[in-house]
Amino acid sequence: MKKVLVTGGTGYIGSHTIIELYKKGYEIDVLDNLFNSKETVLDKIEEIAGKRPNFYEIDLTDFDKVEELLAKNQYDLVIHFAGLKAVGESVEKPLEYYENNVSGTINLLRCMQKHGVKKIIFSSSATVYGDPGDPKYTETMETGRNLANPYGRTKYMIEEILKDCVVADKDFEVVLLRYFNPIGNHSSGLIGEDPNGIPNNLMPIIMKVARGEIEELSVFGDDYPTPDGTCLRDYIHVVDLAKGHVAVIDKMEPGVLIYNLGSGKATSVLEMIKAFEAASGQRLPYKVAARREGDLAEFYADPSKAERELGWKTKLTIEDAMRDTLKFLEQN
């Protein structure tokens, strides 16, 4: 196995995964429409890894362009990160989310089918579990019920589409990776999460508060049934997450493999604030605000399947993530 097409490769998780793929000698092409990333990320990848992926500025919803790319290149594997991911925006613009994420993926799959590309790793999310009752999510739990927003439904729908493709083609190899909450960045501080527009997620907002671009962090609710009243999440260092993708490649086989990628530990919003303050030595201004609609009090991964079958588990801590985030803030 040699040549990998990474969709969404200039994005946050994609760029970190490319660094890990280069360590294992893969050849990489990137497809991205640069909607939520910049082409300069490729310079940073080259600085870190000493290699530069071929870049194709293509939108997955443009079937002809995707087709042309797959006709010209014989890929062994596609790692599919490209997608829109802002939960709140997906509620306001559901059709854009379904078109971009679901139709974009269907285009990609049609082109893969046409050109004999039989392996795909898909960026799914813990959000597909909905609200199963038990906060410790295992891969065998039911998915697709009580999904809180269109974004989550696109992830669920794509998972189901991929499962159907495996039924139709016995040689097709699919991996669904369900990410928990990725944070941090490469220790060089050269690449990291740098979303265009107003961020929704906790870490990018903490970064904006630290830079003084947002006055204070709003903690969404402190009256949850958790030890300090704020929500608990499973934060995973993006470099550990990236390594999870590499770990699964050699395990791929016809059929569907599903893995949670998380640390198995739950951390509260207040603990995240304290960890940032400890790493930076600066106070992070925050206020307690109303609960955010759709938030669950607590969820975290049961990551034992990935450890058992892939020999993968998280090694980096929240402290590592905070240190690396500060490095990224310094450099950018």
* Contact partner, 35, from ligand NAD, ligand UFG, none, Cβ < 5-8 Å per class: ligand NAD
Could you tell me which stretch among 77-85, 215-223, 263-271, 285-293 binds ligand NAD (CB under 6 A)? Answer: 77-85
Q: How far is CA 160 from CA 60, 65, 154, 156, in A?
A: 19, 25, 10, 6
Look-up of token digits 């429409």: 33
Q: Which lies closer to ligand NAD via its Cβ, residue 201 or residue 288?
A: 201
Q: Which of 33, 90, 123, 125 binds ligand UFG (CB under 6 A)?
A: 125
Distance CA 160, CA 178 (A): 14
33, 105, 149, 263: which one contacts ligand NAD (CB under 6 A)? Answer: 33
- What's the first-to-final CA gap in the chain, in angstroms? 36
Say whether residue 126 binds ligand UFG (CB under 6 A): yes
Helix, strand, coil % over all residues of the chain, rounded to 5: 40, 20, 40
Q: How many residues does the chain have?
A: 332
Question: In this chain, which of 8, 152, 221, 262 binds ligand NAD, going by CB under 6 A?
Answer: 8
Pairwise CA distance, residues 286 & 290, whole Å: 13
| Whether 151 is catalytic | yes
Among 153, 233, 243, 245, the residue binding ligand UFG under the rule CB under 6 A is 233
217 binds ligand NAD (CB under 6 A): no
Cα separation, 319 vs 157, in Å, equals: 35
Q: Pick the closer one to ligand UFG by CB: 63 or 220.
A: 220
Binding track over 255-294 against ligand NAD, x by CB under 6 A:
----------------------------------------
CA separation for the pair 300, 257 (Å, rounded) = 20
Catalytic residue among 12, 151, 179, 259: 151
Beta bridge partners of 231: none
Beta strands (DSSP E) in the chain are 3-7, 27-32, 54-57, 77-80, 119-125, 136-137, 173-179, 181-183, 217-220, 232-233, 235-237, 255-261, 267-268, 286-289, 300-301
Judged by CB under 6 A, the number of residues near ligand NAD is 28
By the criterion CB under 6 A, which residues form the site for ligand UFG? 85, 87, 125-127, 151, 179-181, 200-202, 205, 217-220, 231, 233, 269, 292, 295
By the criterion CB under 6 A, which residues form the site for ligand NAD? 8, 10-14, 32-37, 59-61, 81-85, 100, 104, 123, 125, 179, 181-182, 201
Residues with active-site annotation? 151
